[in-house]
């Protein structure tokens, strides 16, 4: 899906009841989204498929639903209170907050940086004069707060030093090496005093020194605000699993290796939320903590990697838009020996959909220290052997998965008759409705017959049915296409035996969303076919 189509998807989601902007009647609350009647069905189905695959269809997995509010010591033990932070800078001019680990990405999308790159690809060598001119023309429009625009003479004098010693500036390199150095010079008005500064990707202004910003959401428990009552909204569901490790072990007679799965809300005071539901401050996760004997974590890691990849593919994600990305040594959390993300090619670029981490025994060890409780596992074959299991953590974003399925489903196509349509080609297991029942017209006895069929289907099967009488049949088909209903059953005059054609009594037409094939079949066979 091209970036431009994202707007169309957002608009379809709103128009058809998948996802609404939050608190809209009060002017909204930035970056909050509400799942509408169809969105909640889609999301529930994603969760159901996940639970089916990773809990019901495996003997080594059980579920859990722990609290969002937990004893604050949990977050001291997990390290979130001390270090759950991103490095942040503020633009001194436009006051935007910039998450510094996103700076490269923001620069690569920055119009003024593109314009600068163009200058370098147009010319064989770029002189000081060229840069000055660029500053007074494009720069002035696109990056009004860049030092070379506001104070060209001083900035260019610093720059001459740089150009003298610079290696060739590579224009098409992403914001790296020489290009990265160059923009620092263009942004540093008082280089002698402040040293080199990074520019704001939006307006070119100077960024402040990065400071850590804690992402934990604080709230208060009880009636008194203040010391002792401050608690946190959980930033991940994982810790609920660790603190219940012993409970699960004692009640469920689990033997290693085994895992615990949980789906639930998490909260992070994200600095740069955005891209629809991709990054929000309140979101849902689907997480697994998988406990293994120390030494078996590497093979468990490989196993999960494959399972998760296949889960996305089986539900219709095109593998050419998925990739695995191993974290580099610098990116790894100190307790993790290996982390890998599955990234999806979102309309704005690659983004993390899922993370798999090898967490060792870090979490259980921390909880032992902070709680003073023994969380060790006793080897059932040799009770003298007690140890903390190692943990492999497959962690899914639920909202990001839903967004991925929405993007994958969104299709604009031209039909053989030249008409165009928008159709959400969800996997049948994910579509909000399994079936639509459509009486051909608003004639009362047609509606009655269709209602009778609707009741029969919902009573005798688990299919979720829509019943729609509003508008022409063409319009209703178009709506069903846009909400991704795989099949539509039309009840017409033939069904009532009122057609000139003989032998159509008690038959209906069933239309396939993707092939558009229509088939006439007796109601008596319909149920069997649908089941």
| Span 416-445, contacts to ligand ATP by CB under 6 A | none
Structural contact between residues 482 and 495, judged by C-beta atoms closer than 8 angstroms: no
CA–CA gap between residue 128 and residue 159 (Å, rounded): 8
Nearer to ligand ATP, 398 or 440 (CB): 398
CA–CA gap between residue 512 and residue 490 (Å, rounded): 12
Nearer to ligand ATP, 64 or 436 (CB): 64
Nearer to ligand ATP, 39 or 397 (CB): 397
**Among 45-53, 77-85, 179-187, 352-360, the segment contacting ligand ATP (CB under 6 A):** 352-360
- Single out the residue of 120, 134, 304, 354 in contact with ligand ATP (rule: CB under 6 A): 354
**Among 202-210, 277-285, 307-315, 472-480, the segment contacting ligand ATP (CB under 6 A):** 277-285
Q: Does 363 bind ligand ATP (CB under 6 A)?
A: no
CA–CA gap between residue 278 and residue 286 (Å, rounded): 15
- Single out the residue of 31, 285, 404, 504 in contact with ligand ATP (rule: CB under 6 A): 285
| Span 240-269, contacts to ligand ATP by CB under 6 A | 268
Spatial CA neighbour of 345 closest among 272, 269, 275, 427:
275
Could you tell me the smallest distance in angstroms from the CB atom of residue 490 to ligand ATP?
Answer: 40
Q: Does 270 bind ligand ATP (CB under 6 A)?
A: yes
Tokens of 20: 């609404």
- Single out the residue of 201, 389, 397, 486 in contact with ligand ATP (rule: CB under 6 A): 397
Q: Does 355 bind ligand ATP (CB under 6 A)?
A: yes
- Single out the residue of 197, 279, 476, 511 in contact with ligand ATP (rule: CB under 6 A): 279
Could you tell me the smallest distance in angstroms from the CB atom of residue 512 to ligand ATP?
Answer: 33
Distances (CA, A) of 185 to 127, 144, 154, 523, 524: 14, 15, 11, 75, 77
CA–CA gap between residue 249 and residue 245 (Å, rounded): 6
Q: Does 205 bind ligand ATP (CB under 6 A)?
A: no
Nearer to ligand ATP, 280 or 504 (CB): 280
Nearer to ligand ATP, 117 or 395 (CB): 395
Q: Does 352 bind ligand ATP (CB under 6 A)?
A: yes
Instruction: Count CA atoms closer than 13 A to 371's CA, side-chain side.
Output: 18
Site track for ligand ATP across 300-339, x = CB under 6 A: ----------------------------------------
Neighbours of 176 (CB within 10 A): 10
Could you tell me the smallest distance in angstroms from the CB atom of residue 289 to ligand ATP?
Answer: 13
Could you tell me the smallest distance in angstroms from the CB atom of residue 214 to ligand ATP?
Answer: 14
Structural contact between residues 258 and 62, judged by C-beta atoms closer than 8 angstroms: yes
Neighbours of 428 (CB within 10 A): 13
- Single out the residue of 395, 490, 504, 509 in contact with ligand ATP (rule: CB under 6 A): 395
**Among 25-33, 34-42, 160-168, 278-286, the segment contacting ligand ATP (CB under 6 A):** 278-286
Distances (CA, A) of 123 to 140, 148, 155, 186: 20, 19, 21, 18
Interface with ligand ATP (CB under 6 A), residue total: 15
Cβ density class 36-64: b for 16+ within 10 Å, e for less: bebbebbbebbbebbbebbbeeeeebeeb
- Single out the residue of 107, 131, 175, 353 in contact with ligand ATP (rule: CB under 6 A): 353
Find the helix or strand (DSSP H, E) in which 242 lies: helix 238-243
CA–CA gap between residue 92 and residue 95 (Å, rounded): 6
Q: Which residue's CB comes closest to ligand ATP?
A: 397
Spatial CA neighbour of 140 closest among 127, 124, 129, 151:
151
Tokens of 323: 């990739």
Nearer to ligand ATP, 271 or 300 (CB): 271
Nearer to ligand ATP, 284 or 434 (CB): 284
Based on the number of CB atoms within 10 Å of its own CB, is 222 exposed (0-12), middle (13-18) or buried (19 or more)? Answer: exposed
Structural contact between residues 104 and 175, judged by C-beta atoms closer than 8 angstroms: yes
Q: What does R_g of the chain's alpha carbons equal in angstroms?
A: 29
CA–CA gap between residue 274 and residue 105 (Å, rounded): 14
Q: Does 399 bind ligand ATP (CB under 6 A)?
A: yes
Could you tell me the smallest distance in angstroms from the CB atom of residue 279 to ligand ATP?
Answer: 4
Could you tell me the smallest distance in angstroms from the CB atom of residue 101 to ligand ATP?
Answer: 8
- Single out the residue of 31, 89, 275, 280 in contact with ligand ATP (rule: CB under 6 A): 280
Could you tell me the smallest distance in angstroms from the CB atom of residue 285 to ligand ATP?
Answer: 5
Could you tell me the smallest distance in angstroms from the CB atom of residue 74 to ligand ATP?
Answer: 16
Spatial CA neighbour of 13 closest among 403, 329, 289, 363:
403
Q: Name the pairing type of β-strands 465-467 and 435-439.
A: parallel
Q: Does 400 bind ligand ATP (CB under 6 A)?
A: yes
Binding positions for ligand ATP, rule: CB under 6 A? 236, 268, 270, 279-280, 283, 285, 352-355, 395, 397, 399-400
């Amino acid at each position: 899906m091209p970036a431009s189509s994202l707007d169309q998807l957002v608009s379809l989601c709103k128009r058809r009841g998948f996802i609404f902007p939050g608190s809209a009647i009060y002017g909204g609350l930035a970056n909050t989204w509400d799942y509408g009647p169809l969105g909640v069905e889609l999301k529930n189905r994603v969760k159901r498929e996940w639970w089916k695959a990773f809990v019901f269809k495996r003997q080594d997995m059980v579920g859990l639903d722990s609290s969002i509010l937990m004893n604050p010591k949990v977050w001291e033990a997990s390290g979130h209170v001390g270090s759950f932070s991103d490095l942040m800078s503020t633009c001194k001019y436009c006051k935007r907050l910039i998450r510094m680990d996103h700076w490269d990405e923001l620069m690569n999308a920055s119009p003024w940086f593109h314009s600068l790159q163009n200058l370098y690809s147009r010319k064989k060598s770029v002189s000081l004069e060229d840069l000055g001119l660029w500053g007074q023309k494009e720069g002035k429009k696109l990056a009004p707060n860049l030092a070379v625009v506001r104070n060209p003479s001083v900035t260019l004098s610093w720059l001459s030093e740089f150009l003298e010693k610079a290696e060739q500036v590579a224009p098409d390199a992403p914001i790296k090496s020489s290009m990265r150095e160059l923009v620092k010079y263009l942004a540093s008005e008082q280089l002698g005093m402040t040293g080199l500064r990074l520019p704001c990707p939006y307006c070119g202004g100077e960024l402040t020194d990065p400071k850590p910003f804690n992402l934990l959401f604080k709230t208060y428990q009880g009636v008194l605000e203040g010391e002792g009552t401050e608690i946190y909204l959980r930033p991940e569901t994982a810790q609920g699993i660790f603190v219940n490790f012993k409970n699960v072990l004692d009640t469920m007679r689990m033997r290693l290796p085994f895992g615990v799965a949980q789906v639930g809300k998490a909260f992070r005071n994200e600095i740069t939320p955005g891209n629809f539901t991709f990054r929000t401050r309140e979101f849902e996760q689907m997480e697994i903590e998988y406990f293994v004997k120390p030494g078996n974590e590497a093979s468990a890691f490989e196993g999960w990697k494959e399972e998760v990849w296949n889960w996305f593919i089986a539900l219709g994600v095109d593998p050419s838009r998925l990739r695995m990305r191993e974290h580099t040594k610098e990116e790894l959390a100190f307790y993790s020996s290996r982390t890998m993300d599955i990234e999806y090619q979102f309309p704005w670029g690659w983004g993390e959909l899922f993370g798999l981490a090898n967490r060792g025994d870090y979490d259980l060890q921390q909880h032992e220290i902070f709680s003073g409780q023994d969380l060790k596992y006793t080897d059932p074959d040799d009770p003298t052997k007690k140890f903390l299991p190692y943990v492999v953590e497959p962690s899914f974003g639920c909202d990001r998965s839903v967004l991925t399925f929405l993007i994958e489903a969104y299709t604009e196509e031209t039909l053989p008759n030249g008409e165009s349509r928008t159709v959400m080609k969800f996997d049948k297991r994910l579509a909000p409705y399994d079936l639509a029942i459509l009486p051909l017209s608003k004639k009362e006895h047609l509606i009655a017959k269709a209602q009778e069929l609707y009741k029969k289907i919902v009573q005798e099967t688990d299919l979720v049915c829509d019943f729609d009488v509003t508008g022409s049949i063409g319009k209703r088909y178009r709506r069903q296409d846009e909400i991704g209903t795989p099949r539509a059953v039309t009840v017409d005059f033939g069904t009532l035996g009122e057609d000139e054609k003989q032998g159509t009594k008690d038959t209906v037409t069933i239309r396939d969303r993707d092939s558009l094939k229509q088939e006439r079949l007796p109601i008596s066979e319909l149920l069997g076919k649908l089941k």
